[in-house]
């Protein structure tokens, strides 16, 4: 089976889905809060949770630490495990002030750090692992890469960029190694590719009951070939 080029995948997905919606924010701190405002919430509910946070509490670290339990529970209640995620919001604020004490938790100094220090600093926050740190650095224009979440990884694995391994981490590393030589260094293109792969995995290339018949990538997809 002929293999795909990443640029061709991106073009076909954009033709199908249209231009992707922009990232929820470009500021690294706001992106950390976005990941922690609600557990397992769809984008619409996560956006509602984020707007509730802005309105009821504020987004500065000191505002989160001063907020009432009731206000944070109202925010985190847009997802599951509200008490756990209300506590995580406070944890995020505490870590931000530990990392940037002189700026009161403002992330402006992050851009002056070496890349590895940036990654490690961001990965300290709840819900932000290695790929999450890379995504934040991409969205805020600090480091050009193509981080993947589970939906995007599933799409590229089914398209044959790498075999699926027993562990998620091993699969992730193999796909990253396969796409690295093809990556653009244009931030806008990388962000669009990330978002389109995520969207395609959510809407068509689902984990179960994928909608292969509507997929423009089916002719050269392992799953699509099996279901033909």
Across 126-148, average pLDDT: 95
Q: What is the topology classification, in CATH, of domain 28-139?
A: Endonuclease III; domain 1 (1.10.340)
pLDDT value of residue 11: 95
Residue with tokens 């260094």: 185
Q: How far apart are CA 11 and CA 169, in angstroms?
A: 27
Q: How far apart are CA 26 and CA 31, in angstroms?
A: 7
pLDDT value of residue 1: 54
pLDDT value of residue 194: 97
Q: How far apart are CA 155 and CA 54, in angstroms?
A: 34
Across 169-188, average pLDDT: 94
May I ask the CATH class of domain 6-20+147-227? mainly alpha
Q: Where along the chain do the CATH 1.10.340.30 domains lie? A: 28-139
Q: How far apart are CA 45 and CA 53, in angstroms?
A: 12
Which one-letter DSSP state was computed for residue 106? Answer: -
pLDDT value of residue 3: 79
């Amino acid at each position: 089976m002929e293999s795909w080029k990443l640029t061709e995948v991106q073009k076909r997905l954009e033709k199908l889905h249209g231009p992707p919606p922009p990232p929820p924010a470009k500021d690294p701190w706001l992106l950390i809060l976005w990941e922690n405002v609600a557990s397992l919430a769809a984008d619409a509910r996560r956006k509602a949770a984020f707007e509730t946070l802005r309105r009821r509490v504020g987004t500065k670290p000191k505002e989160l630490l001063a907020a009432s339990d009731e206000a944070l529970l109202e925010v985190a209640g847009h997802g599951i495990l509200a008490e756990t995620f209300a506590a995580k919001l406070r944890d995020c604020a505490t870590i931000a002030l530990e990392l940037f004490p002189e700026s009161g938790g403002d992330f402006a100094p992050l851009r002056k750090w070496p890349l590895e220090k940036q990654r490690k600093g961001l990965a300290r926050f709840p819900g932000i692992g290695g790929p999450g740190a890379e995504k934040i650095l991409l969205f805020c224009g600090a480091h050009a890469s193509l981080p993947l979440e589970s939906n995007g990884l599933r799409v590229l694995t089914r398209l044959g960029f790498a075999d699926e391994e027993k562990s998620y981490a091993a699969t992730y590393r193999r796909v990253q190694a396969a796409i690295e030589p093809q990556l653009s260094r244009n931030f806008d293109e990388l962000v669009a590719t990330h978002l389109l792969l995520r969207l395609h995995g959510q809407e068509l290339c689902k984990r179960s009951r994928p909608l292969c018949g509507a997929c423009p990538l089916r002719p050269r997809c392992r799953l699509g070939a099996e279901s033909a």
